[in-house]
């Protein structure tokens, strides 16, 4: 079985490894970086900067409260950037090793379909190759959405990749977009002392998550000095001396935000242009490639995985789809359960959710019960001095089946998999209640929230 994969990000390289393990002859075409946007310009470098800047921010604000006396704490931004680059390099080299040891043929170049069994590749050295294949997988990822704002082409207006690699810390930055990318980068810059303003068109930041947990983040961002404008639209960006003036229409009237830098964090869209999809009959819907449960496109021997099919624009969902497609190609199809895809925000506090939010459950017609447990009543959170957060369950009113779990707080992105597994197994609250959790741990708060569904919270004061 000869399989060609177009794109070497978390969807493409995972599919390549899985196919090789199952005995396929695999060629992977990547035009830029092995590991894709996530590893090189997105998830990984962002989290490196968040990790370091959060530690710096906490020590400069609360070292005395932790019992630490620090005479001189300074931030070496160049060293932080070097560490970020080294982490990315180490992980990219690790992926390259996986491809090499699995005997996957890697070609640096840009691919375009000629027929349903041939693809043209223009290599980095401008050589033209035509590869024939039995099956093909499109894994071309996504690209930033560029909203046509007047002045968006001015010097100092950045995309997320540029914002992660600034030579120095800006004194001020206006972030256009309050989604996951926007709030994570806002958190990074606020941690190092930058004056941050977030402008979001929707009624809330991080609008796709349960607003009870988002409120924990929003309050923390405001407390740290970040200005947040919601239901607000950027009208234009103007040059004002050596600064940029962002003119914003808000519910309270027109505001002008003067900043050294402006970050465009307005989301991403499937990267499907220039692939020759129309020529071979692959259907798309608003730019996203249409696929079935096995990730097969409208052309029966071509599959599409990850951001390019528009289902869930997350790296871990892309990797899972890569395995589904590879298994399907090799006759081992297992459908993907999209209900168990976790959504994570790596801010302070972290946010994580899986399954349905309260709003989504009600919109889908469920009769529900909910329960919330605050982290200020959790022993491990108190020990860590990190009590801003909560755990929230959404369950079916009649069966107590778990429909959704949302968390805000320290290690939320690690703990969310308890909820993912529970939903995958169609577990009820009783399965959570009859599982013993170690003490002291933050995960105990999940048990406490489950008790709340039954009206029996152990570590909250009784209400008469």
pLDDT in tens, 266-288: 999 999 999 999 999 999 999 99
Is there a single domain that holds both residue 248 and residue 174?
yes
Number of C-alpha atoms within 13 angstroms, CB side, residue 441? Answer: 13
Is residue 82 situated within a structural domain? Answer: yes
Question: Which strand (E) or helix (H) includes residue 200?
Answer: none
Is residue 64 situated within a structural domain? Answer: yes
pLDDT score, position 464: 59
Which tokens belong to 138? 């499109």
Positive/negative CA dihedral, 170, 193, 90, 353: negative
Q: Under DSSP, is residue 280 helix (H, G, I), strand (E, B) or coil?
A: helix
pLDDT score, position 28: 98
Residue numbers of the domain that contains 165: 157-266
> In this structure, what DSSP letter does residue 400 have?
-
Is residue 461 situated within a structural domain? Answer: no
154-200 tens-digit pLDDT: 999 999 999 999 999 999 999 999 999 999 999 999 999 999 999 99
The answer to whether the beta carbons of residues 345 and 352 sit under 8 Å apart is yes
Is there a single domain that holds both residue 362 and residue 308?
no
Spatial strand order in the sheet of 135-138: 128-132, 118-123, 105-115, 25-30, 2-6, 135-138, 302-304
Is there a single domain that holds both residue 382 and residue 366?
yes
Is there a single domain that holds both residue 191 and residue 223?
yes
* CA distance to 236, 333, 403, per residue, from 150 (Å): 5, 48, 43
Is there a single domain that holds both residue 326 and residue 430?
no
The answer to whether the beta carbons of residues 401 and 427 sit under 8 Å apart is yes
What are the beta bridge partners of residue 143?
269
Is residue 394 situated within a structural domain? Answer: yes
CA angle 183/208/219 to nearest 5° reads 45
The answer to whether the beta carbons of residues 379 and 448 sit under 8 Å apart is no
Q: How many residues does the chain have?
A: 464
Which tokens belong to 402? 């778990």
Is there a single domain that holds both residue 26 and residue 119?
yes
pLDDT score, position 410: 93
- The Cβ of residue 192 has, within 10 Å, a number of other Cβ atoms equal to 17
Is residue 193 situated within a structural domain? Answer: yes
Which tokens belong to 430? 């009783």
Q: Under DSSP, is residue 211 helix (H, G, I), strand (E, B) or coil?
A: helix
Is there a single domain that holds both residue 172 and residue 106?
no
Is residue 276 situated within a structural domain? Answer: yes
* CA distance to 24, 104, 249, 315, 320, per residue, from 19 (Å): 5, 9, 51, 19, 13
Q: Which of 293, 297, 299, 323 is nearest to 308 (CA)?
A: 297
Out of 217, 239, 266, a domain closes at: 266
The gap between the terminal CA atoms of the chain, to the nearest Å, is: 69
Which tokens belong to 455? 């009206």
pLDDT score, position 298: 97
Q: Which residues are catalytic?
A: 439
pLDDT means per 10 residues in the chain (464 residues)? 97 98 98 91 94 95 87 94 96 97 97 97 93 97 92 95 95 97 97 97 96 97 97 97 97 96 95 96 96 97 98 96 98 92 97 98 97 97 95 97 97 97 97 96 97 92 75
Is there a single domain that holds both residue 321 and residue 400?
no
Which tokens belong to 243? 């600064």
Interior/surface letters 214-238, b for 16+ CB within 10 angstroms, e for the rest: bebbbebbeeeebebbbebebeebe
- Alpha-carbon distance of 144 to 132, in angstroms, equals 31
pLDDT score, position 325: 98
Is there a single domain that holds both residue 174 and residue 296?
no
Number of C-alpha atoms within 13 angstroms, CB side, residue 319? Answer: 11
Is residue 94 situated within a structural domain? Answer: yes
Is there a single domain that holds both residue 126 and residue 216?
no
Question: Which strand (E) or helix (H) includes residue 239?
Answer: strand 233-240
Q: What is the CATH number of the domain that holds 357?
A: 3.30.390.30
Out of 228, 245, 266, a domain closes at: 266
Out of 251, 266, 281, a domain closes at: 266
- Alpha-carbon distance of 166 to 162, in angstroms, equals 6
Is there a single domain that holds both residue 290 and residue 255?
no
Q: Which of 320, 335, 6 is nearest to 141 (CA)?
A: 6
Q: What is the CATH number of the domain that holds 70?
A: 3.50.50.60
- Alpha-carbon distance of 172 to 420, in angstroms, equals 38
- If you compute the radius of gyration of the chain from its CA atoms, what whole number of angstroms results? 24
Is there a single domain that holds both residue 246 and residue 283?
no
What are the beta bridge partners of residue 138?
6, 304
Domain count, the chain: 3
Is residue 149 situated within a structural domain? Answer: no
């Amino acid at each position: 079985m000869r399989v060609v994969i177009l794109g070497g990000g978390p969807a493409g390289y995972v599919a390549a490894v899985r196919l090789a393990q199952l005995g396929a002859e695999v060629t992977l075409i990547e035009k830029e970086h092995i590991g894709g946007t996530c590893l090189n310009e997105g998830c990984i470098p962002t989290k490196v900067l968040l990790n370091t800047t959060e530690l710096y921010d906490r020590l400069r604000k609360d070292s005395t409260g932790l019992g630490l006396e620090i005479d001189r704490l300074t931030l070496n931004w160049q060293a932080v950037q070097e560490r970020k680059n080294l982490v990315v390099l180490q992980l990219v080299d690790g992926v390259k090793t996986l491809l090499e040891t699995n005997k996957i043929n890697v070609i640096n170049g840009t691919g375009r379909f000629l027929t349903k069994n041939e693809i043209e590749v223009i290599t980095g050295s401008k050589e033209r190759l035509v590869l024939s294949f039995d099956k093909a997988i499109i894994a071309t990822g996504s690209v930033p959405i560029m909203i046509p704002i007047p002045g968006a082409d001015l010097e100092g207006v950045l995309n997320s990749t540029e914002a992660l690699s600034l030579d120095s810390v800006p004194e001020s930055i206006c972030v256009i977009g309050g989604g996951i990318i926007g709030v994570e980068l806002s958190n990074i810059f606020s941690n190092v002392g930058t004056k941050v303003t977030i402008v979001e068109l929707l009624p809330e930041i991080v609008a796709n998550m349960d607003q009870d947990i988002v409120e924990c983040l929003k309050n923390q961002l405001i407390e740290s000095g970040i200005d947040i404008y919601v239901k607000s639209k950027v009208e234009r960006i103007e040059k004002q001396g050596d600064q940029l003036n962002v003119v914003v229409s808000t519910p309270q009237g027109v505001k002008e935000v003067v900043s050294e830098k402006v970050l465009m964090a307005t989301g991403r869209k499937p990267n499907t242009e220039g692939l020759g999809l129309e020529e071979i009959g692959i259907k798309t819907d608003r730019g996203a490639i249409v696929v079935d449960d096995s990730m097969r496109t409208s052309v029966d021997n071509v599959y599409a995985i990850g951001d390019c099919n528009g289902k869930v624009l997350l790296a871990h969902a892309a990797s899972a789809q890569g395995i589904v497609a590879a298994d399907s190609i090799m006759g081992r199809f297992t459908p993907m359960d999209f209900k168990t895809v976790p959504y994570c925000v790596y801010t302070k506090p972290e946010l994580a959710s899986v399954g349905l939010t309260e709003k989504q459950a009600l919109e889908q017609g469920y009769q529900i019960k909910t329960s919330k447990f605050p982290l200020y009543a959790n022993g491990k959170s108190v020990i860590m001095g990190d009590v801003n957060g909560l755990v929230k369950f959404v369950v079916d009113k009649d069966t107590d089946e778990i429909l959704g779990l949302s968390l805000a707080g320290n290690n939320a992105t690690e703990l969310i998999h308890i909820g993912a597994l529970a939903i995958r197994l169609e577990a009820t609250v009783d399965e959570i209640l009859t599982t013993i959790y170690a003490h002291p741990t933050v995960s105990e708060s999940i048990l406490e929230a489950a008790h709340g569904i039954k009206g029996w919270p152990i570590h909250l004061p009784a209400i008469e």
